[in-house]
Amino acid sequence: MTGHESRFARIDVRQWARACALGMNAALAFVCLNLGRMGKTTTTKWGATGIATHVGMSKAQARQALQALEAEGLVRSIRDGLRSIVDSGAGIFAWVPQSVVFGVEGNRVPPMELLREYADPMLLRLFVDMYERHDLPGVGGLPPCVLHERWDKHVLFRSPAWHVVAFTSNHSLHTPLSPDDDLIRPHVVRAGASGTDNYDAWWCRCKDLRATGLLTRVLRLAESADADAATAITFWPAEWQGHDTPEEARVGTAAEAVVQAMLRKNHDAWNDVRALQATGTVVLLPLPAHMVPQATLQTVYRLRYRPHTKETQAWYAWLSHQADVWTQAFHDVEVQWGDSISAAEERERREAGRI
């Protein structure tokens, strides 16, 4: 990579669909060519050698992929090994980070090379198309209309200021998107007026992206179903393995500590938790009492690799601030409940000593 290349690829989604129709190697080559754009121009300096080096194909395969893209009219050779990428003019772009090709430190296989192993160009197409919908500042990832998981709410414990709420899910996912939506349409088999549309390919590819770790899930707690990210808490439950960001893991751990403090020795509440766990996943959260009536829990699906744009940097700054605020709030509640429990236990010991 040279200083002329971008930190992310600006991929025209309409041209991207045509590239994917040419097969996996042509699609991978198209991503690399867009990553090699020189500044804001359509000129790219990437060729067969660079493509073969970074996405796990031979030079002969890379040359064939370039020839297929040129024959389709997606790329033009101009001079001295340079090529020009032909945009559709629609102005709809997916902003894909360079890390999907180069990888990041600690991950041995870059995403593009990993997806090539699936030999499914439509899986690669979905992965890139999701970047066009990805909205970190707005909802913290993909909009809930893309992938939606229902969480039911159960109040386990009430105090004047804070309640402990259990949210339960059986991991039943659905997509509110119309089958005619550009994101989902290539992966749905339409059945016509008398039948039922087949979403199997859509769900299989979403599952594959989850299995590769390229699509992660976090939780988002909002005061209402239509709240934007700026008024919501995003966190990673302490009992989940791994985490997406340290900030969200910190909030999740602090929330768990409050739950443990508030439900200490509350055997009835823990019995209720065990009963709920028999029906699916249970996430316990301490909530300010005024939030409970309208509070909703949402699963946010988020692409793990993110372009280093100003919007992404602003989101990380906001997330860090949010984590500080809620971690401190949860810590204060934990201390308050710890002090009150200690005082109650001391009174019990004194009463026992008088008997």
pLDDT of residue 229: 61
Which of 238, 265, 234, 273 is CA-nearest to residue 254?
Answer: 238
Strands (E), the chain: 8-12, 43-44, 75-77, 83-85, 93-97, 148-149, 152-158, 162-169, 173-174, 215-222, 233-235, 281-288, 296-303
> In this predicted model, what pLDDT tens digit does every residue of 54-76 receive, in sequence order?
888 899 999 999 999 999 999 99
Q: In this predicted structure, which of 27-31, 68-72, 101-105, 316-320 has the lowest mean pLDDT?
A: 101-105
What lies within 8 Å, CB to CB, of 4 at 6+ separation is 38, 39, 45
Which of 39, 45, 40 is CA-nearest to residue 75?
Answer: 45
Tokens standing for residue 327: 């971690």
Under the banding of pLDDT at 50, 70 and 90, the label for residue 337 is: confident
pLDDT of residue 355: 47
d(CA 201, CA 189): 8
> In this predicted model, what pLDDT tens digit does every residue of 202-236 receive, in sequence order?
999 999 999 999 999 999 898 876 666 667 888 88
DSSP code per residue over 307-319? ---HHHHHHHHHH
CA distances from 201 to 111, 197, 198, 337 (A): 20, 11, 8, 50
d(CA 17, CA 13): 6
Q: Where are the domains of the chain?
A: 1-96, 137-178+210-343
Tokens standing for residue 128: 């890139």
pLDDT of residue 211: 92
Residue with tokens 């020839």: 67
> In this predicted model, what pLDDT tens digit does every residue of 134-170 receive, in sequence order?
998 888 899 888 998 889 999 999 999 999 999 999 7
Q: pTM to 2 decimals?
A: 0.87
- The answer on pLDDT for 44 being more than 80 is yes
Pick the CATH number of 1-96 from 1.10.760.10, 1.10.3720.10, 1.20.1260.10, 1.10.10.10: 1.10.10.10
CA distances from 298 to 35, 190, 222, 229, 340 (A): 33, 29, 8, 11, 33
